Amino acid sequence: MGTLSVNQSKLQKRLRRLAGEAVTDFNMIEDGDKVMVCLSGGKDSYTMLDVLLHLQKVAPIKFEIVAVNMDQKQPGFPEHVLPEYLKSIGVDYHIVEKDTYSVVMEKIPEGKTTCSLCSRLRRGTLYTFADEIGATKMALGHHRDDILETFFLNMFYGGTLKAMPPKLRADDGRNVVIRPLAYCSEKDIEAYSELKGFPIIPCNLCGSQENLQRKVVKEMLLDWERKTPGRTEIMFRALQNVMPSQLADRNLFDFTNLRIDENATPRFVDVMNL
């Protein structure tokens, strides 16, 4: 890539700055960490790797990066693309071969969305591999829009208020997942991916339907952003500003023992005696 224009330079700096802020805010990477960067071949994971490689150069701490891709044996998967790219930029990598495609095709009826089972099988395999190679952190390429979409999906369809946290310890305690792009917008990532000319591998090789619920939520958020620019950023900020006493979760706030404070200062002044 040649010299960047002013706007292109601003885009690159913005992504690097936001990723750096997220890494710092949530203490995602520490000195001596071995970070396993999970690559799917999509725009998000390529951008994440690019940003982390820059952070590795400028950060005041030392940490290792190893890229990992999982070949799920989908028909037509271009096996050569990621190895060639990673060799060209000098990044250590592993290709994990696991035929989850056959399992998904066997378990999911034709015409039904395969994404959920596919992602669970992929995640379990990657968790295990991270443990095998001694990775202390697993980096995933989810961005701000992914996190918000997941929040609304869980609220609308799951009846829970939860999203994708920027940093998460797995249930078994053996893996810590980080999302360095948590503050970055999908729009910026898409523009940066086009700018860098990453060799994108499509996510439709399995021929499955798109996750229709996520598509509906994505369109809803895009429509809100078109009508009220800046709303996406405000909603994401709300995820960082939770007030349990203003919700209704009895496990997060003790509503049962909530009573008046007899020692509190009276709210109203007796104006007749002023």
Phi, psi of 137 (to 5 degrees): -140, 145
Measured in residues, the chain has a length of 274
Q: Which residues, 6+ apart, have CB-to-CB distance to 101 below 8 Å?
A: 72, 73, 74, 75, 206
Q: Which residues, 6+ apart, have CB-to-CB distance to 143 below 8 Å?
A: 44, 179, 181, 182, 184, 185, 186, 189
* Cβ–Cβ under 8 Å, residues 83 and 95: yes
The residues with which 139 forms a beta bridge, in sequence order, are 37, 178
Classify burial at 154, counting beta carbons within 10 Å of its beta carbon; exposed 0-12, middle 13-18, buried 19 or more.
middle
What does the alpha-carbon distance between residue 136 and residue 176 come to, in Å, rounded to a whole number? 7
184 labeled binding residue: no
What does the alpha-carbon distance between residue 128 and residue 124 come to, in Å, rounded to a whole number? 6
Q: Which residue has the tokens 């090789």?
A: 205
Tokens of 59: 């950060």
* Cβ–Cβ under 8 Å, residues 217 and 153: yes
What does the alpha-carbon distance between residue 49 and residue 66 come to, in Å, rounded to a whole number? 10
203 labeled binding residue: no
Angle between helices 144-153 and 212-227 (to 10 degrees): 120
Q: Which residues are annotated as a binding site for [4Fe-4S] cluster?
A: 115, 118, 206
Q: Which residues are annotated as a binding site?
A: 115, 118, 206
